Structure 1
Amino acid sequence: MDNVGQRAQGAPRIACVFGASGGIGRALCDALAAGGTEVIYAGSRAGQGPEGAGIRPFAFDLKDETSIAAAAEAMRADPPELVIAATGVLTLADGTGPERTYKRLDPAAMAEVLALNTIGPALIAKHMLGIMPRGSAFTFAALSARVGSISDNRLGGWHSYRASKAALNMLLRNFALEMARTHPESVIVGLHPGTVDSGLSQPFQSGLAERQLTTPQDAATNLLRVLAGLTPEHSGRVFDFCGAEVPA
């Protein structure tokens, strides 16, 4: 039978990816399209996304709440069943990377990392969760990281990045508890994609064990597979690319 135009099991009819110009974000858009998702809102700072019949690019800036609110409002009439905040920063635009010691902490750099890794995704959640109708099933996911786990932290360092992801995980838990009261079919989770061959990880790939580096395409496939298997009982937690829970 010809499967063209048919959605894969668990694939949403409408999805939205914030950060569609990044390695993982672009791959997520491609994988959703391949799975039969009819409409994919693809957000980036430049307002450009992958090409495709169902792709609807839009512009947003993580540090500009007005742009995020406008993007959400444009989707209110027919909101997505899946929203992924595929955003994040490890090395800042000026080359400032993760601090390996407390002696290198810089308040401006720390504030920038928190703005992009924590506050930005929280604002996406604020406005996207706000357009979800009661009684509807939907999933909101944000890219997190295993290093955001407090109990699993055995090496230290990377202070701002770890703190920003730990804070993001806490916010996702808060959002899940709040939304469960009014939207009991909602799923709100964090996702750890693994070490993906992207611009974010590029400066830190040397010395990685064989097969530890994942392509964006494989990461997207893995993450969508994990999301398809989640239920409201999983809401408020963080899962890795294999579906295993990341400890808090």
Structure 2
Amino acid sequence: MEKALIIGASGGIGAALQRLLTMQSVDVTTLSRSADGFDLTNVEAVGPALEALQCPFDMIFIATGALEINGAQPEKSIRSISAQAMMDQFALNAVGPALVLSHAARLLPRDRRSVVAVLSARVGSIGDNQLGGWISYRASKAAANQIVRTSAIELARTHKQAICVALHPGTVRTEFTRKYVGRHPAVESDEAARNLLSVAKALVPADTGGFFDWAGKPVPW
């Protein structure tokens, strides 16, 4: 039986991934702040929590992130920067996934294909940025993409069949995006989960270190 780990399983996309994988008879382990007290920003807690898990996992989804932290909304201009708000974004969206990926070599099998996916965002693409704004969130996701890329290079040295990628789920209707969707095309969490899982299953080891959208198309760095 395949085994999957979902970090951030209490969020809209994480919960939908859990439901979908369970329906597909995958043995799913979940971690979240609300259900387990798993705080990605707590350096001292992440390691022990991950070390207590029964490994290895064929799939790992890091489905955490936030547009607003402690009431700080995405900036409309660089003039609106708050050092604390930016540090909060980096702690959750970049440092948190990095702490998980630091344990990837132990969490993943060495003798077969595996996938570890960090949910990123197209707004974290430097090459695709045409609008400006959202400085802290954009920068934290760009940092997460670099962390994924670097982790993939290191992981490939010992886990030849491992695939470590950043995935953009598209605009998804969740509590996370409720205030910002507006008239933009958006999908429900269950559809987003199906799309993400479809992409994850189609990836091959040569794709490791990449950044892909919900349809499996590469996203510019």
TM-score, normalised via structure 2 length:
0.96
TM-fit CA distance, 1:103: 0.6
TM-fit CA distance, 1:134: 3.0
Maintained 8 Å contact 2:12/2:189: yes
TM-fit CA distance, 1:244: 0.6
Within the candidate set 67, 77, 82, 1:101 is matched to 77
Within the candidate set 21, 24, 28, 1:35 is matched to 24
Within the candidate set 203, 208, 212, 2:179 is matched to 203
Counterpart for residue 73 of structure 1:
51
Partner Cα separation in structure 2 for residue 170 and residue 24 of structure 1: 22
Maintained 8 Å contact 2:166/2:211: yes
1:228 alignment partner AA:
K
Partner Cα separation in structure 2 for residue 18 and residue 123 of structure 1: 12
Local SS of the residue matching 2:166: strand
Local SS of the residue matching 1:204: coil
TM-fit CA distance, 1:78: 2.9
CA separation of 1:141 and 1:164: change in aligned 2, threshold 3 A: same
> How many residue pairs get matched?
221
Give the gaps of 5 or more residues in structure 1.
1-11, 49-57
TM-fit CA distance, 1:133: 4.3
Paired residues for 1:237-248 under 5 Å: 237-248=210-221
Q: How high is the sequence identity, in percent, across the aligned residues?
A: 41
Maintained 8 Å contact 2:72/2:85: yes
* 1:215 is aligned to 2:192: no
Local SS of the residue matching 2:51: helix
Counterpart for residue 22 of structure 1:
11
Counterpart for residue 33 of structure 2:
45
The higher radius of gyration belongs to: 1
Give the gaps of 5 or more residues in structure 2.
none
- CA deviation string 1:26-61 (max 9, x = no partner): 000000001110x21111113x3xxxxxxxxx4410
Counterpart for residue 139 of structure 2:
163
TM-score, normalised via structure 1 length:
0.85
Partner Cα separation in structure 2 for residue 131 and residue 120 of structure 1: 16
| Larger RCO, structure (CA 8 Å, separation 6 or more) | 2
Partner Cα separation in structure 2 for residue 118 and residue 29 of structure 1: 23
